[in-house]
Amino acid sequence: MRNRMFMMLFSLLVALAMSAQSPKVRESNTSYAKEALQTYVESGRLAGAISVFYKDGVQETCCIGYADVAQKRPIRMDNVFMQCSQTKGFCGVTIAKLVEQGLLSLDDPVHKYLPEFKELWVEVQNKDGVRVLHKAKNVLTVRMVMNHTGGFPFEVSAKRRDVRGGGWSGGAPLRQVASIAAETPLGFEPGTRERYSNTGIDIGAAIVEVITGMKWEQYLKQEVLDPLGMKSTWFWPSDKQLKKKIELYQTQNNAPAVWVEENPWQQRPYNDSHVFASAGAGLWTNANDQLKFYKMLMNLGVGDNGVRILKEETVKELLAVTTRPQNMSGYSLGLYAPKQDNENGWFGHGGAWGTNCSVNWHKKELKLWVIQCSGGGQPWQKDVDKAAEKFFAQPFDSSAANAYTGRTK
């Protein structure tokens, strides 16, 4: 009984300590993003968008336009949307945690955990123009599947666009996706080129399942989502959440945007039992939750609530800078990242239909952009970029942010 009371008291003290560390975000009282986007919204070319600029505890939040034009439902920070490829960074964090704990090395062969990857085949074109297969010479590593240098296609047959329930909705369990990928010819020798692939990230998640003995999504929830308080982020949004989701609109040249159906090949309803967790592109979230995840990265592993998810060095070495060879573009573990660590280096990720978030840990800066827009480009992007420049050009007092993160630089 005494031990139980002690543990309850200890838990309460820890919670209070975490609460005390939580930063007090101060609104900037600026409206740079709103001023940049107002004309586009008034003309109907832009249905709605969310923009957040953050630096040193000061934040500009802009919610402008509609989540649903037909219903005249304003876009809000708590509206859910499928973040698609931004899910990759979440898988990157779970891999980084296992490396940090000594349970995994990025240079481990994938077949150490998934034996079906022991023998792989590469599809090449011979001198006569005939496509033939030859056995892969290079060993496929965990690093390669997580930074898109493994040679895998964007999707494999278990998640084809012509199969209802395939594609980004997660059309098969992760281990099945991995098994099919192991039998799929690679486009090049592992580690020699880059090819963006949901499949590779799914293989990384399957490795997490082998090491932890848990479903990847459950490990993600236990180690990342729950500790950060991301209660609106999951692979199966509730019916209540879906009623408030941000609708998808197609941009028209000098004309109002038009509503379009999201990926018609995806499983309906979105929270059906036939939808499986996809580490490459499956999470639903909202802007509030996205801020919690990316502020954790910006703060080198410490969440808004004071909970540490990763060590500083883990973020710096595995997520904030490329894990690819220097002759390739910058990409770390599921995140775009600079080739070299520098004070002007941003890392983060975008998702289909325009969502994007990136952070600079050196300057403690963050840019979040939420939009659901297909086709026609984003003519307003240059104006949003200029708005961000104006925001970050302001003088800031970093003392409060430093005290919160425990950082001195």
Spatial contact of 311 and 100, defined as CB atoms under 8 Å apart: yes
* Single-letter amino acid, residue 297: L
Whether residue 116 sits in one domain with residue 256 = no
Q: Which two tokens stand for residue 86?
A: 């931004």
Whether residue 110 sits in one domain with residue 62 = no
Whether residue 96 sits in one domain with residue 81 = no
Does some domain include residue 8?
Answer: no
Write down the pLDDT at residue 334: 97
Residue indicated by tokens 């060993």: 139
Task: Read off the DSSP letter of residue 122.
Answer: E
Whether residue 377 sits in one domain with residue 244 = yes
Q: How far apart are CA 131 and CA 124, in angstroms?
A: 5
Q: How far apart are CA 287 and CA 290, in angstroms?
A: 5
Does some domain include residue 9?
Answer: no
Write down the pLDDT at residue 267: 63
Strands 347-350 and 356-360: antiparallel
Whether residue 399 sits in one domain with residue 294 = yes
Region class of 300: left (phi > 0), else alpha (psi between -120 and 50), else beta = left
Does some domain include residue 276?
Answer: yes
pTM greater than 0.75: yes
Provide the residue-wise pLDDT of the chain in tens; the chain has 409 residues: 555 454 444 444 444 444 444 557 899 999 999 999 999 999 999 999 999 999 999 999 999 999 999 999 999 999 999 999 999 999 999 999 999 999 999 999 999 999 999 999 999 888 888 999 999 999 999 999 999 999 999 988 655 555 544 445 567 889 999 999 999 999 999 999 999 999 999 999 999 999 999 999 999 999 999 999 999 999 999 999 999 999 999 988 888 999 998 766 566 677 777 778 999 998 999 999 999 999 999 999 999 999 999 999 999 999 999 999 999 999 999 999 999 999 999 999 999 888 999 999 999 999 999 999 987 778 999 999 999 999 999 988 766 555 555 554 5
Of 116, 115, 95, which Cα lies nearest the Cα of 106? 95
Residue indicated by tokens 């891999």: 95
Whether residue 144 sits in one domain with residue 280 = no
Of 247, 252, 246, which Cα lies nearest the Cα of 377? 252
Where a domain ends, among 165, 194, 214?
Answer: 214
Q: How far apart are CA 338 and CA 342, in angstroms?
A: 8
Question: How buried is residue 170: exposed, middle or buried, by Cβ count under 10 Å (0-12/13-18/19+)?
Answer: buried
Q: How far apart are CA 264 and CA 260, in angstroms?
A: 10
Structural domain range at position 248: 24-86+217-405
Q: Which two tokens stand for residue 283?
A: 């999470």
Does some domain include residue 47?
Answer: yes
Q: How far apart are CA 195 and CA 204, in angstroms?
A: 15
Angle between helices 87-100 and 287-298 (to 10 degrees): 40
Of 161, 150, 262, which Cα lies nearest the Cα of 206? 150
Residue indicated by tokens 């008291």: 9
Q: How far apart are CA 246 and CA 286, in angstroms?
A: 9
Whether residue 372 sits in one domain with residue 256 = yes
Q: CB pairs under 8 A, 24+ apart, for 62-65? A: 62/31, 62/33, 62/34, 62/37, 64/33, 64/34, 64/37, 64/38, 65/37, 65/41
Where a domain ends, among 214, 236, 255?
Answer: 214
CA 288 to chain centre: 14
Total number of domains in the chain: 2
Q: How far apart are CA 74 and CA 402, in angstroms?
A: 35
Whether residue 79 sits in one domain with residue 96 = no
Does some domain include residue 2?
Answer: no
Write down the pLDDT at residue 8: 45
Q: How far apart are CA 187 and CA 119, in angstroms?
A: 15
CATH number at residue 50: 3.40.710.10
Give CA torsion, residues 282, 208, 90, 119, to 10 deg.
-70
| Contacts of residue 91, Cβ cutoff 8 Å, sequence gap at least 6 | 146, 201, 204, 205, 208, 216, 220, 279, 280, 333, 334
Region class of 170: left (phi > 0), else alpha (psi between -120 and 50), else beta = left
Write down the pLDDT at residue 6: 47
Strands 131-135 and 121-125: antiparallel
Write down the pLDDT at residue 261: 84
Whether residue 210 sits in one domain with residue 115 = yes
Spatial contact of 97 and 223, defined as CB atoms under 8 Å apart: yes
Where a domain ends, among 169, 190, 214?
Answer: 214
Whether residue 244 sits in one domain with residue 118 = no
Does some domain include residue 61?
Answer: yes
Region class of 56: left (phi > 0), else alpha (psi between -120 and 50), else beta = left
Whether residue 222 sits in one domain with residue 209 = no
Whether residue 299 sits in one domain with residue 258 = yes
- The phi and psi torsions of 141 (rounded to 5 degrees) equal -110, 165
